[in-house]
Structure 1
Amino acid sequence: MARADTLARARKLDRPETAYLMRFPTADGTRDMELTWAELARDTDWVTARLREHGLAAGQRALLTASGFEGFWGHAVIGALGTLKVTYGIAEAMGWDHRRAAVFHRELAPHAVIGLSAQTLEGLAGAVDIGEMFRPTSVVLARPAAVPLLRAVGVSAALISAVGPALALECPERRGAHVNAAEWRVGERDGQLSVAAGEGRASPLPETPLGIAGRVVAGRCGCGSEDPRVLLAEAN
């Protein structure tokens, strides 16, 4: 049976509403939440809009560095790249896979690098000039610990980070990473971030301290978004 036929039949099968079981760290340990297919679709739509703001469009190429356990947001990013018709390659975000990241970056000449980690940068540092490698890349979305390393060598990196079960993604204004207000409520207390699930999420999540140092900025961003922004201490 051809692969297309197999996929067509698979689409007709019933499937459970749950897409992922998310496990994320909090100030008091770890917590689990369910992620439904409907929620994943909404998350993908939100990420698609954010990447479009960064200029990603059909025919471009991207490098995504992510780990399998990050599927709850990695899948949304992959879905967004597919919607935008952006060709992408994937490397592991751990330092031991830095060579794959280097090969993809060289061969793809990507418009965007998404999810760049400090571990990847540390692995690359012994073989390449990080500034020369990433300054020509139009869009660099990096994890908190990687952002100051990149900015120190002249790379205009924006922030992408998990905030508990939510994804924070900085817009081209680079004044904090937006969190989807339709799905999550982010707050701060004594310099520490918290998150709660919005009313539309299937798994309830009351206000939960995350043990992440940072603050929340409310109000309209220069990009026009009303979504709150998080400023992470680690990324500054």
Structure 2
Amino acid sequence: MARADTLARARELDRPDLAYLVRFPAADGMRETDLSWAQIARDTAWITDRLRGHGLTAGERAVLTASGFEGFWCHAMIGALRSLRVTYGIAEAMGWDHRRTSVFHRELRPQAMIGLSAETLEGLSGTADIAQMFRQTRLLLARPAAVPVLRGAGVPAFLISAVGPALALECPERSGAHVNAAEWRVGERDGQLSVAAGEGRGSALPETPLGIAGRVITARCACGSEDPRVLFAQADQLSSARS
């Protein structure tokens, strides 16, 4: 049977609705929630709009640094890059793979670096000048502990962070990281962030304290988005959210 015929037959098979079982750190230990293929499709559409808002367009290039256990947002991010027709390379977010990030950056000359971690920057700092390396990269979406390192080097990084099972992405206004309001409810109590499944999520997740210091802004953003924005209190308090 030809490959095309095999793929056509495969598309006719029943596909389980469950895509991932997401495990994430909460204030009282690890928690779990389901993630369906339909939810991934909606997450992909939301991320696509977020990246488009940063000016990422067809024909440009990106480097994504992520780990296998981050598939709950990485899968949607890859889908968004494909939807925008952006060429991308993938490196591990752990520090031991910083050389792959360096090679992709040198060979692809990307317009976007997505998911940069403090561990990657620490590895790169031994062989490169961070400020010089990323000065020409138009869009840098970095994790909470990496943002102050980059900004301290004069590189205007934006924030990307897991907030429990949700993903937060900072817009060009740099006034907090947006969370998709159609899918998630983010809140705060006594200076600590919480997350719950929104009405459109379709999977049950009650309000879950995350043990992350921060606050939530619900006012309309200057970028035009009605999605709430998360402001993190201190980067070192977000080490559990970087996974």
TM-score, normalised relative to structure 2: 0.95
Deviation at 1:2, TM superposition (A): 4.4
**How far 1:9 sits from its partner (Å)?**
2.2
Q: How does 1:182-201 map to 2 (within 5 A)?
A: 182-201=182-201
CA distance in 2, matches of 1:229, 1:120: 26
Cα deviation, 1:79-129, whole Å, max 9, x if unaligned, reads: 000000000000000000000000000000000000000000000000000
In structure 2, the residue matched to 1:43 is: 43
Structure 1 match to 2:240: none
Match of 1:20 in 2: 20
Q: Does 1:121 align with 2:121?
A: yes
| Superposed displacement of residue 11, structure 1 | 1.4
**Letter aligned with residue 25 of structure 2:** P
Q: Which runs of 4+ in 1 moved over 4 A?
A: none
The alignment partner of 1:212 has SS state of strand
Residue in 1 aligned with 2:241?
A: none
Aligned partner of residue 103 in structure 2, secondary structure: helix
Instruction: Supply the AA of the counterpart residue of 2:57.
Output: A
Cα offsets for 1:39-87 (capped at 9, x unmatched): 1100000000000001111000000000010000000100000000000
Contact 1:23 1:31 in 2 (8 A): yes
Distance 1:49 1:145 in 2: 25
Name the CA distance, whole Å, in 1 between partners of 2:199 and 2:80. 24
Q: Deviations over 1:120-179 (max 9, x none)?
A: 000000000001111110000000000000000111100000000100000011110000
Alignment check: 8 A CA contact 2:182 2:201 kept: no
**CA shift in 2, pair 1:4/1:124, >3 Å:** farther
Aligned length: 236
1:204-219 alignment, distance < 5 Å? 204-219=204-219
> Aligned AA for 1:17?
D
Give the Cα–Cα distance (whole angstroms) in 2 for the partners of residues 234 and 73 of structure 1.
Answer: 23
- Kindly provide the CA deviation profile for residues 24-43 of structure 1, in whole angstroms up to 9, marking residues without a partner as x: 00000011111011111000
Tell me the residue number matched to 2:156. 156
The code of the aligned residue for 2:14 comes to D
| 1:1-236 matched pairs, under 5 angstroms | 1-235=1-235
C-alpha displacement at 1:202, in angstroms? 2.7
Q: Is the 8 A contact 1:141 1:159 kept in 2?
A: yes
| Structure-2 separation of matches of 1:14 and 1:224 | 40
Moved more, 191-200 or 62-71: 191-200
Distance 1:13 1:220, change over 3 A: same
The residue type equivalent to 2:220 in the other structure is R
2: distance between equivalents of 1:4 and 1:156?
A: 46
Which letter does structure 1 place at the counterpart of 2:50? R
Percent identity over paired residues = 77
Letter in 2 for 1:37: W
3-state SS in 2 of match to 1:7? helix
TM-score by length of 1: 0.97
Structure 2: where are the runs of 5+ without partners? 237-243
- SS of 2:204 mapped into structure 1: coil
| Cα shift at 1:218 | 1.1
1:201 positional shift = 1.9
Q: Does structure 2 retain, via aligned residues, the 8 Å contact 1:159–1:170?
A: yes
Native 8 Å contact 1:34 1:202 kept in 2: no
Q: What amino acid maps onto 1:180 in structure 2?
A: N
